[in-house]
Every structure is written in C-alpha cells, then in structure tokens.
Amino acid sequence: MTTVQEEFLRTFHAAHPAVTVRAMAHGRAEGGRSSYEILRDRVAACGRVLDLGCGDGLLLELLAAGKAGARRSLAGIDLSAEELTLARGRPGVGRADLRVARAQQLPFQDGRFDGCVSHMALMLMSEAEQVAAELARVLEPGGTLAVVVGGGPAGGEAYELFVRLLKPLFQGAPAGRRMPPLGDRRVRDREGFDAVFRPAGFGPVEWETVRIDLSGPPERVWRTVGTTYDLGMLDPAVTAGLRARFEAESAAMALPDGRVPCAMRVHVATAVRRDS
C-alpha cells in the first residue's frame, strides 16, 4: 500500500531527479572515497547485487565498472520512475534489471542476490520490519547487506548552520506545508538497526560512522544543503529568505581559499544474512 510519505517522495523526486547525487557525490571521506564508493567496496566480492532505492543509479554505475563489474548481475528498485530513467542512461546500468517498486514488496525471487546496497534510502522507508523481511528473503544465506544512512551535520560547519536556521521555519510552517515524517529512526543507530534486522534473519551489524567532507564554493554548498526534503513543502518566499540568511552567515565561515566548510556524518552498516 502506497503511503503519504511515498507519495511525497515520488513527487519530490519527479521534480528534482538526481538530487542526492548532486548534493553528495562530490563528498569525500578521509582517505578520498565518496560514500557511494565506500558501499561499492563493501560488496566487492558479490556477483548479484540489488541497489535498494537506487535513485539515478550512480552506485549501480560504480558497481558495473571494470572487469568485476562486467560480470555482475545488477538490479535496482526505486519509487521514482524519473530517477530510473536517468539510471538507464548511465554507462553499464542499461543492462541492469531496474524496476519501479516498493522496498516493502520486492519483485524478485527468494535468494536472487548475494549482495544488497542502499545509499541514503533505507532511513526513509516506512514498515522497517517488512523491508528487513523482504531483504532477508531476496538475499541468499551468507549474502551481504551494506547501507549508508544519514547521521546529521558533522558540527561546526555550514550544514549545522543550515539545520539551525531551518528548524524554526519548519516548526512554524502551517500543517499543509510540513514534510510528513519519513521512515523509521531506528535504522539510524546500531541498536535500532539490530532490533529491526536481527529478528528478520541477519547477523549483528558492523557499524561505522564516517565524516563526509562536502566543503566547496558557496553555490555548491547551497546545492548540497538546500535540496533536502524539508524544503520541498516550504513556501518559496520562506525558502528564499532562508537562503539569503544562510549565504550571509556561511560566508563568514569561509576558508582563506573561499570554500565554505560543510560536512555530514553518515553511518555505514553491514550485516550478513544468516543461514536459515
């Protein structure tokens, strides 16, 4: 059953396809990898990989690259037909099995995959137990689940400033202009993740928190913070005021080279499907 939340996500992504890649693909963890590359490496040994909430397909493109990628069988699902259209145009992704589907009801047979990845999508999904049950069903025993979920601002930088400026506007918005609460907060921390995934048939989660540096020129930093779901429903005049204030206050933080410091934390969670 499609929910109000899913309708909101569909509408948002139809209006802003590729939004997550534009916001995050340039971000780098210590050591130089993006959060997408970190997930790619977590399933390096897997030959049949599903991307859950694949968006416009950057992670699938990374998984399709190189000799190992050419041998892989790849699939992706997303609520958004517009995102999947962009994914189909990426190198190597045209041959992937891409479907508009809900994570709560996966259109794949039992044990079809030995790996599943999900970048910044799992924490948006309602009915977390149902999603976990579906992932346990389509992953074969021993299969790897690797996800990145958002962990908020890193602190002392522009993303934290943005959240501070946004909060009162969001709280003060009339009911019809507020984003519906999305997903299940439990999957954003280790204990909650285990509480959802262990009963479904997964082993204990391996949990790592990583800082992603998103610093850059002021316009790019706005593109990163200013395309969050929270702004989707706000009055455009309110958003314009927020932007003006954000740009003025973040300019005061700029580094000597003109870049604005911006960073977010992500949690990288990996769990193995137990033998049943």
Ligand X SMILES: C[S@@+](CC[C@H](N)C(=O)[O-])C[C@H]1O[C@@H](n2cnc3c(N)ncnc32)[C@H](O)[C@@H]1O
Contacting positions for ligand X (CB under 6 A)? 6, 9, 13, 20-21, 53-55, 58, 77-80, 83, 102-104, 119-121, 124-125
Give the span between the Cα atoms of 261 and 255, in whole angstroms: 7
Closest CA to 198 of 133, 110, 125: 133
CB 189: neighbour CB atoms within 10 A? 17
Nearer to ligand X, 137 or 274 (CB): 137
User: Residue 41 CB, nearest distance to ligand X (Å)?
Assistant: 16
Cα–Cα distance for residue pair 63/61, rounded to 1 Å: 5
Q: How far is the CB of 65 from ligand X (least distance, A)?
A: 16
> Minimum CB separation from ligand X for residue 257, in Å?
28
Burial state string for 126-139 with b = 16 or more CB within 10 A and e = fewer than 16: bbbeebbbbbbbbb
Closer CB to ligand X, residue 104 or residue 250?
104
Cβ distance to ligand X smaller for residue 105 or 172: 105
Q: In angstroms, what is the minimal distance from the CB of 124 to ligand X?
A: 4
Q: Which residues contact 220 (CB under 8 A, 6 or more apart)?
A: 26
Give the shortest CB-263-to-ligand X separation in angstroms.
Answer: 17
Backbone phi, then psi, for 147, in 5-degree steps?
Answer: -130, 150
Residue 3 burial (C-beta neighbours within 10 Å; 0-12, 13-18, 19+): middle
Strands of 97-100's sheet in order across: 97-100, 73-78, 48-52, 113-119, 139-153, 263-272, 206-213
* Nearer Cβ to ligand X (183/261): 183
Q: What minimum distance in Å lies between the beta carbon of 94 and ligand X?
A: 18
Tell me the residue number closest to ligand X, measured at CB: 55
Shortest Å distance, C-beta 273 to ligand X: 19
Nearer to ligand X by C-beta: 74 or 124? 124
Report the residue number, 61 or 157, with the smaller CB distance to ligand X. Answer: 61
CA-to-CA distance for 63 and 98, rounded, in angstroms? Answer: 14
